[in-house]
Structure 1
Amino acid sequence: MRPWIRPAFWWRLAIVLSAGLGLVTGDGSLVYFTVESNVMVLGYFAGALYWMAARDTAEGPAPRLRGAVTLYILITGLVAHFLLNHGADPLPGLVSGPDRLQNWSTFFLHYTTPVMVLADWLCLGPRNASRWKDLPLWLSFPLGYAAVVMVRAALFPGFPNKYPYFFFDPSGHGYGYVWLQIAQLTVEFIVLASAVVGLDRLGTAVRGRLRPATG
């Protein structure tokens, strides 16, 4: 069966296009977790398309890496919507205002791509490949990102945009506030990572119950 007649192939191609459009139409740099996570999505799903075509399969490659990529892009979407944008509706900026192209980029990076990757995780295979023991490894990237930001700012105070996000900046409330924010985010990321694994297991259980009995 040709891979391009499978819905999974076209869905993953749409993910690649969403992440790619968000990256090329915006002006963000790799100092932002948003950009880094979307680059990971772009790389993983572009590789997945090649894998699916080469092996004539609907399954994605490296399922545990897929779980990590899913976690990172969900972090991007949730932090952007609730912490950075305070739950504001992103839709009006897509049709009015002077920065519509940047708003579209933000919409792709913060909303469209995370939702599509989550749907991929819930609906497409392989299933039941993530492990609870993967959580520390998955979490090492966002925690490492925070460590790099703080160390870089301390060693290179003239670095452009040394605090990409307000919760890293100690100038307003001091370092105690920053470490408290990092600790709170760490707890939230642990919960989110656990949810990613749990949804994988739940999806497997639901599909098993819905599968018609044989014999």
Structure 2
Amino acid sequence: MSKAAVSPSAASALPDPEPARTSLYAHAALNSRPVALVYRMLALAVILTGVIRHSDVLTGAPNWTTLLFYTMVSNLLCLVWMILLIVRTARDLRQTGPRGTSTPSARGSGAVMMAITVTMLIYLVVLVPTRFADGDSDIFSLTDNLIHIITPLLMIVDWLVFVPKGSFRWIDPLLWTLIPYAYLVWAFVYGSLGGEFTPGQKYPYPFMDVDALGVSGVAQWVVALTLALVVVGLVFVAIDRALGVLSRRSVRR
């Protein structure tokens, strides 16, 4: 007896084949939403702690001038982005299961990561030496470490471990400079209109002090810092593309 051909209607009634299981190490270094969710909730708590301590919100005499500085702006950006990551991870965990990655945008994660990396680099390269020279003994306090070093590292680790790789473009480092440049423009305009970042100080950071350095001195600092940040950004892109190749090979296996 010959095998009867299966009609389209009969074929449609057959159960769907079991969906392919996402590899734990495909797409990102670790494709585990429960682990990502726990990490991101802990990271949010740490970032929020730094913001609260830096702004003195719980002391009863909050220092709202901290909101004028790039450090706080970049930390608040990380805070908002981490909340979005948590919401996306929790939603995806509930709807599609524990395996996979969850981020609103891999390139968005890169932009936020670079924005806070600027904070860390300027703190370590520019502000710490200046404060040492001025005799400041409160360098590397808990609050300083939280907002200048720990939060940047938390964002970098989140990108390295939980964000899918291979989406960065070589033009991205230049695009990432738009965030600090937007702050620079705003800060110069704010100071020129009479705004003060601290009493008697119309520049938020020493390298922006036109009165002390002159226009050419400030321009040299801005150019040097821009070149340094673009180089760091290119390193991030190179890592992203290399890990993207590895993740695609993992998927094909």
Q: TM-score by structure 1 length?
A: 0.82
Q: Which moved more, 1:135-144 or 1:12-21?
A: 135-144
**Corresponding residue to 1:172 among 188, 212, 218:** 212
5 Å matches for 1:18-29?
A: 18-27=46-55, 29=66
Candidates 42, 45, 57, aligned match of 1:14: 42
- Unaligned 5+ segments in structure 2 are 1-30, 56-64, 94-99
SS in 2 for 1:59: coil
Contact kept in structure 1, 2:173 and 2:234, CA below 8 Å: yes
Counterpart code for 1:19: I
1:87 deviates by: 10
Q: Which runs of 5+ in 1 are unaligned?
A: none
How many residues are paired up? 202
Among 53, 58, 73, the alignment partner of 2:90 is: 53
Larger Rg: 2
- Residue equivalent to 2:24: none
Structure 1 residues 158 and 73: alpha-carbon distance in aligned structure 2, compared to 1, 3 A threshold: closer
Give the deviation of 1:171 after TM superposition.
Answer: 2.0
CA RMSD, aligned part only? 2.9
Match in the other structure for 2:223:
183
* CA distance in structure 2 between the partners assigned to 1:34 and 1:87 by the alignment: 16
Describe the shift of the 1:126–1:5 C-alpha distance in structure 2 as closer, same or farther (beyond 3 A).
Answer: closer
Of the three residues 109, 112, 116, the one matched with 1:73 is 116
Aligned 8 A contact 1:71 1:193 in 2: yes
1:198 Cα deviation after fit: 1.7
Q: What code does the residue aligned with 2:166 have?
A: N
Residue 127 in structure 1 maps to residue 155 in structure 2: no
Matched residue, 2:187: 149
The Cα shift of 1:79 comes to 1.1
Is residue 81–residue 87 contact of structure 1 (8 Å, CA) maintained in 2?
A: no
Percent of aligned pairs sharing the same letter: 25
Question: TM-score normalized by structure 2?
Answer: 0.70
